[in-house]
Structure 1
Amino acid sequence: MGENKHGARAARAVASPVAPLVWKFGGTSVADHARLRAVAERMVAAQRSGRGVVAILSAMGSSTDELAEMAYKMSARPPLRELDALLSVGESISVALASMAVAELGSHAVSLSGPQAGIRTDGQHGNARLREIRPVRIHDALARGAIVLVTGFQGMSQDGDVTTLGRGGSDASAVALAAALGATECEIFTDVPAVFTADPRVVADARPLASIRHEEMLEMAEAGAGVMQPRSIELAVAHGIDIHLRSSFSTEAGTWIRREPAELEGAGSWDVAGVAHRYHETLYAARDIDIAAVAVALAERGACLGTVLPDLAGLRFTAPGADPAEVIGALDAIGASVKVDQQLGAVSVVSLGIARRPEVVVRTLAALRDAGIEPRLVTTTPGRVSVLVDSEVVDDAVRLLHATFIPAAVGARVRAAG
């Protein structure tokens, strides 16, 4: 598989005619010893049915947050290399304990760190990009009949340092390993039963989706839906991996995230997949500076320029995912002053083909206007319309837009309740 802009070059080595099952278990799925034992039982049962099993594990529960808290108690700005070395410990604990649980069940498992599993990254500590996967040790362990447990969220740079892949990076680890191992599917076990048309904690009648297209899921993830890391979906698109997201704690069918052929011009091609949101979306205003200078300054801090709105005094812009302190520091470094509005959130309607259906944007803005919710900034992509609103009305905006679009839009993709 060749190098591409979405992720790692994966070396596909075929060890057997049947690719192994590739599973990923999130932090809540391995939060304590009882849940680790349940994960071990699931893996052993699958192996005894005749399949090889490769499982990518996150750190237990909130242990990554606890490690980060320890770091920032020690230093206000811990060196990123050392922060990666610390944060990578959580996943190592998970795979070692799970391996012990497998042994107690009478089977054999091998725990591997990201570097041991052949995961290579660039040297950007804290948010490294996957470069290459050479899963030689995984194939060797599978050939010996072992269940292979791999730490998610981490790899090794060309300098031999441990790197981490950013929040949710275990999703990217899992999809990339599936591609490297010749699998066409990756199963993600988490604490939610499916992808919903909106966050069910906000919208009581949000509906689980039986399936969703890769491109729609990427738009949902980038707009704030926390069920999958956006980079993992990019990898799935690039390498043709279908993702099955399901609960660790039930037998519900979950949601398939996969490549589906769109109808040429039919309405079903451009329906509304869902409504996503973020409670905090920072808007910056800079004076007497051009867009290029801002973009360069942010890039030097590893941040990307988002939406830009020039005006007579300068420009307003967003920097999705960037720490406001980093953005302010980047502009200070080039002598530019910036005002920061952090009292905003974002709500997005995801619908492929918005450029062909301007009525989606019109209905979005009309619904907000009729409810007295003022849009502070509106942006569109080929797959979604996003509106910045005051943070305190984000929930209201999500419920309003879900009621506006979802009842008649999702069609057969919604799984019937019960």
Structure 2
Amino acid sequence: MRDSKVAVVGAGYVGLTTAACLASLGHEVVCADVNRAKVNALCRGETTIQEPGICELVVDGLAAQRLKFVLGASAAIPEAGIVFLCVPTPMGPDGAADLSALESVVTELRRGLLPDCVVVNKSTVPVGTAVRVAGLLDRADVAVVSNPEFLREGMAVRDFLGPDRIVIGSDDPDAAKRVAALYGNLSAPVLLTDSASAEMIKYASNCYLATRLSYVNTIAELCEHLGADIGDVTAGMGYDPRIGRSFLQPGPGWGGSCLSKDTHALLRVAEDAGCGFPVLRAAIDTNVHQHDLVVDKVRQAVGGRLAGVRVGLLGLTFKAGTDDLRDSPALEIADRMAAEGAELVGYDPAVDGPVPGATDRVQVAETAYHAAMGAAAVVLLTDWPEFRGLDWDRIAGLVAGRSVIDTRNLLDPLVLHRAGLSCLRIGHPAPDEVGLVR
């Protein structure tokens, strides 16, 4: 069947995962990207993102001749019955999603698409984009479908092959069913809906999660003021089936490539529609406030001023399990401290060295111990499990100060106390006079 011949435009986190996983399901997939070096590496089976399982799927797909990588979108579509668009839709200066890359690809492809082809928006796009894409294509014989992704970085392969739901939206029921058939071997609920609803589902989901995180961060702040313990509070909340346990972990603020841009994009969509969204605005403002709170904790721990103070950072990526630095709360907090004159040395297991445009204000260290050396305070910003197993006695002998600010509540405060260090956590009472915490 022609529908088993699939083109994927874009080889980033979403595109590469989509291409490799569809190939693993038995489809013939051609994946295109504009970056020649990336395409050449992928043709050799060398993946360009850190994602568990993706390298194996790429190698297997190449070996089975079900997966191919090409340069340029036009080279991917000559035989494709279904074309996935997985291109970046970053936040523009006004907060709205920047659709220029998507529109450029659609314009490039419109005359080369086979008759009766289906174009699938996999990128996160505002409501109404499917209609706009159809207008740009200007092809009555080509249907447009919205099939939003729900992939977590660090778990993308698992999420694709074991999804909790598959959402497919189109005003053409036959086209929607054709896309649904690609996922036929997966066991998951399939929601067939209109394109506007599918586009809204993606934004509504991500913005709800961001709001939930902002809520729990505010509860954590309140716990600190009132002497309550956020760990016990969220445990008690999580037993309620109406609430559940996910996204109840306080931290330094949310970030990453999705939540930041999607919250701003939906807020802009709501404003353009004349619909106020004060809850979402408050969630964004609360996240900014959370960055300030962490900087305040560090400032207080080093005596009230950051100017000229050396601070060691553990973690630079936006979360553990990925090498993604985009909109990382760790880097946002680092930038704020650097603006006050702090000297920053940071370590992250997934960051081998300086990344221009991302780590410019941080000296990237080879190990956690190098980051801690001579630091007036150590700040844990990313929840890499290996940080819990560090030799804290060794770190205590390297640092100049005694304070460790654990913004992820990852560390065992008793272990640090035995090493002579004080552990300041999010949403927990401050260490008492003997350095212990509840």
Question: Greater RCO between the two (CA within 8 Å, min separation 6)?
Answer: 1
More helix by share: 2
TM-score, shorter chain, exceeding 0.5: no
Give TM-score, length-normalised by structure 1. Answer: 0.28
More strand by share: 1
Larger radius of gyration: 2
